[in-house]
Amino acid sequence: MRPLHLFLTAGIWLAIAASSIASSGASSGQAPGITDLRCEYLHDPLGLDVARPRLNWIIRSDRRGTSQSAYRILVASSAELLQSDTGDLWDSGKIDSSQSIQVEYAGKPLASGQACSWKVEVWDERGIALPWSAPASWTMGLLNPDDWAAKWIGPSPSSDKSDAPLAAPMLRKEFEISQPVRRAMLYICGLGYYELHLNGAKVGDHVLDPPVTRYDKRVLYVTYDVTSQLARGRNAIGIILGNGWYDTTVSDAWDFDKAPWRARPQVRLQLDLEFADGSRRQVVTDSSWKMATGPWLFDQTRVGEIYDARKEIPGWTIAGFDDSRWQPAIVREPPAGKLAASNVEPIRVIQTIRPVKISQPKPGIYLFDLGQNIAGWPRLTVSGPAGTTVSMRCGEVLAPDGTLDNSAIQSLVHSPDFQCDHYTLSGNGVEVWAPRFTYHGFQYVQVQGLPTAPGADTIVGEVVHSAFEPAGEFECSDPLLNRIEIASKWSYLNNFVGIPTDCPQREKNGWTGDAQLAVAMGLEHFKGEASYTQWIDTFQDCMRADGKLPCIAPTGGWGYDVLDGPAWESAYLLIPWEMYRQSGDRRILTSHYDGFKKWIDFYTRLAKDHIVSYGLGDWEPVKTKTPAEITSTAYYYRDLLIVAETAELLGRAQEAGHYRDLAQQVRQSFNSTFFDPKTGNYGDGSQTALACALYQGLAPDDERSRVVENLVHAVHHAGNHLDTGILGAKYILRALSDNGRGDIAWKLATQRTRPGWGNWIERGATTLWEDWDGKSSRNHVMFGDISAWFIEYLAGISPDDSAPGYKKIRFCWAI
């Protein structure tokens, strides 16, 4: 994708590349044609459990103004049938439509395990047919509980809920294959985390799989096509189970150790084999599997891992291994959550970062500086005597003496081994190791116990997060803005490890407010729709009977009464709404409509005279604390409109009218309670209060200019600095730019002294911080909407709400 350069009057140039915007292809360097076929947002996904998967494609053309006037989709049960243009599952026929995203499959009902091959033909605006796209595919998962013949197995449940750590269970099974295999589909749910091996090799490249859910409501299975990994003769499957979030034995401030789902790790696996002669067979987890423990002595996601290489068991994932001394696996009660397919962008090791500096702040203590704050883990390469233990502690701040200082982030996880991994050497030559069932947030690794002085390869950082493809990027001639953009993207990715989180070191919690603040910048930069779709299901799973949501999702019970309020909880509505705007996704709105209503009705009951006083408010403010009732009521208003719009999409005019009327009453009440007609101020005239009224569409039209003037004055009064927390920081740049004062927004965005984004960069930040002073986490994304402002107001590109999914594009430059 080649970026588009714009020169603006202010004298800065911008480069924008947005692959989510329909591509004219002229500058793409790619051959014209229909490309980028996706199903449920993913390329060739396996194991979908959506009855009517949605299909997307892109037209590339070297002719200006090319557009689609019609399409035809073929879906076939085999690649051969598709090749001969036979859509035995679905032939849409020629449909006169310009729709090229979110096209719902409308063919024969799809059965469990069904393989689907598909392609698209498109007619351009002149009615000329373009050549068929290349084929793409998807497969269906196990759609009915009865499709699972496998049992849940694992260690004995007798120690479930015990605080004593358990070494990671290793489970194995051998089986015979005596004829050619046509297709082998493997389904696995390993809780908390699994690592799957087949005939000595890891299956797939996912790590920390499956993503965390509310396990007592929903557990996720992952599908692999392992046809090419099977051999004629004997085969062996090996599985290692990590505790993940399923068995948190170490106590923390969020009570994950008290989660109702807590149990020892367990797994359900099913291998469906189809042979060349049409016969079928299954290999499933049951009591015939064998189990042992080995080198993984301890693993806790929020703490770290302990691994003793002397306890490795060579060859245990290969056929022919003697497991006669292993124990039979125990058949376990299933977890309470229902099995659902994990159709998301998987978590992967994304890249490796070499240290930019190695120092020795104290004798025997080495400090590796990666030069970049990341989420992931250290990878150790070492050789030395058996029994030597190397300890690696990860963090993001140094003490004055050059050693690691985790004091700002460690107190909420009750373990001295916070962000620390221990590796004991086997003594067998060069040993390379990285943890598997934990991850950390860090720039620095402090290493103790190395048998010899470190070399350039001793420690590298492996970056781990959800593997999103880029959707857009922003670059301009101002190096400060470019660095803020890069830091925002790092913070976003570091905080998306299966689910959006607040910080990768201290909590790793799915804080809802942080996620809603970052969703626009997220979707404008990365294709993460499938992961958001799944996470929004977790909200549904966490909703209390009265409609209340927690402030973190998932939760094991903590966080329903932390005063979070609508600014946090309404991530449940705001994220689907942003998916609708950015990606044209109606389904994520309409499928949660009942949940939206339940949630908003809870707040309607809580409100007094339409004012919601409950909430944390403008978190991490500079000086001025804006009353939470202003920001909470404003979100309540915004959410009522989203519920109304969703009702309209569903054709429920009466309900839409009800919520729209209620929204208007809230607006009136908001203005009569907080607006002072004499001064033109909201509340006590804080930046956040004024920007909130503008951004949320609450200020009366004929008063907007006075409110804007007051906001400009409040910014001048603060020396052209922000005086907001996380909520106001999102509103203010947008509110100023939408109301003709992009010049003031520019001053805030480029401010280099405290407080401001530029100040963090001046102080060496490579990610965004939790607070303006850097006293707590250095890797939060909740102030990251500035990078959406770059795209929407400097590059000037945003989806037009009248035709979501960039069907219509709004161009609007702030300066």
Site membership for ligand BGC, residue 442 (CB under 6 A): no
Q: Provide the minimum distance between the beta carbon of 83 and ligand BGC in the complex, in angstroms, as a whole number.
A: 51
Distances (CA, A) of 563 to 254, 567, 619, 627: 15, 10, 12, 13
191 in Cβ contact with 153 (< 8 Å): no
Site membership for ligand BGC, residue 409 (CB under 6 A): no
Cα angle: 586, vertex 590, 592; to 5 degrees = 125
Site membership for ligand BGC, residue 503 (CB under 6 A): yes
Q: Provide the minimum distance between the beta carbon of 19 and ligand BGC in the complex, in angstroms, as a whole number.
A: 30
Quick one: which of 49, 121, 305, 507 contacts ligand BGC (CB under 6 A)? 507
Per-residue mark of binding to ligand BGC, 236-255 (x: CB under 6 A)? --------------------
Q: Provide the minimum distance between the beta carbon of 718 and ligand BGC in the complex, in angstroms, as a whole number.
A: 23
Output the DSSP codes for 768-797.
Answer: --SSTT-SS-S---TTTTHHHHIIIIIS-E
445 in Cβ contact with 392 (< 8 Å): yes
Looking at the Cβ atoms of 269 and 782, the one nearer to ligand BGC is 782
Looking at the Cβ atoms of 511 and 637, the one nearer to ligand BGC is 511
Question: Token match 């301890």: residue?
Answer: 298
Q: Which residue number has the CB closest to ligand BGC?
A: 502
Site membership for ligand BGC, residue 514 (CB under 6 A): yes
Q: Provide the minimum distance between the beta carbon of 781 and ligand BGC in the complex, in angstroms, as a whole number.
A: 9
Burial, 131: exposed, middle or buried (Cβ in 10 Å; 0-12, 13-18, 19+)? exposed
Per-residue mark of binding to ligand BGC, 573-612 (x: CB under 6 A)? ----------------------------------------
Site membership for ligand BGC, residue 502 (CB under 6 A): yes
Q: Provide the minimum distance between the beta carbon of 409 and ligand BGC in the complex, in angstroms, as a whole number.
A: 10
Quick one: which of 107, 304, 441, 513 contacts ligand BGC (CB under 6 A)? 513
Which window, 49-57, 61-69, 502-510, 749-757, contacts ligand BGC (CB under 6 A)?
Answer: 502-510
Per-residue mark of binding to ligand BGC, 618-657 (x: CB under 6 A)? -x--------------------------------------
Paired residues of 169 in beta bridges: 293
User: Of 354, 379, 355, 368, which is closest to residue 448 (Cα–Cα)?
Assistant: 368
* Residue burial 43-57, b: 16+ Cβ < 10 Å; e: rest: eebbbbbbeebbbbb
Q: Provide the minimum distance between the beta carbon of 411 and ligand BGC in the complex, in angstroms, as a whole number.
A: 12
Paired residues of 91 in beta bridges: 74
Looking at the Cβ atoms of 513 and 784, the one nearer to ligand BGC is 513
Residues contacting residue 570 through CB under 8 Å, at least 6 positions apart: 516, 599, 635, 636, 638, 639
Q: Provide the minimum distance between the beta carbon of 575 and ligand BGC in the complex, in angstroms, as a whole number.
A: 15
Q: Provide the minimum distance between the beta carbon of 559 and ligand BGC in the complex, in angstroms, as a whole number.
A: 9
Cα angle: 423, vertex 382, 429; to 5 degrees = 105
Q: Provide the minimum distance between the beta carbon of 216 and ligand BGC in the complex, in angstroms, as a whole number.
A: 24
Which two three-digit tokens encode residue 385?
Answer: 């005597």
Of 755-814, binders to ligand BGC (CB under 6 A) are: 780, 782
Output the DSSP codes for 34-45.
Answer: EEEEEETTBSS-
Site membership for ligand BGC, residue 616 (CB under 6 A): yes
Looking at the Cβ atoms of 718 and 782, the one nearer to ligand BGC is 782
User: Of 672, 153, 725, 746, which is closest to residue 481 (Cα–Cα)?
Assistant: 746
236 in Cβ contact with 229 (< 8 Å): no
Q: Provide the minimum distance between the beta carbon of 407 and ligand BGC in the complex, in angstroms, as a whole number.
A: 16
Q: Which residues bind ligand BGC (CB under 6 A)?
A: 502-503, 507, 511, 513-514, 616, 619, 780, 782
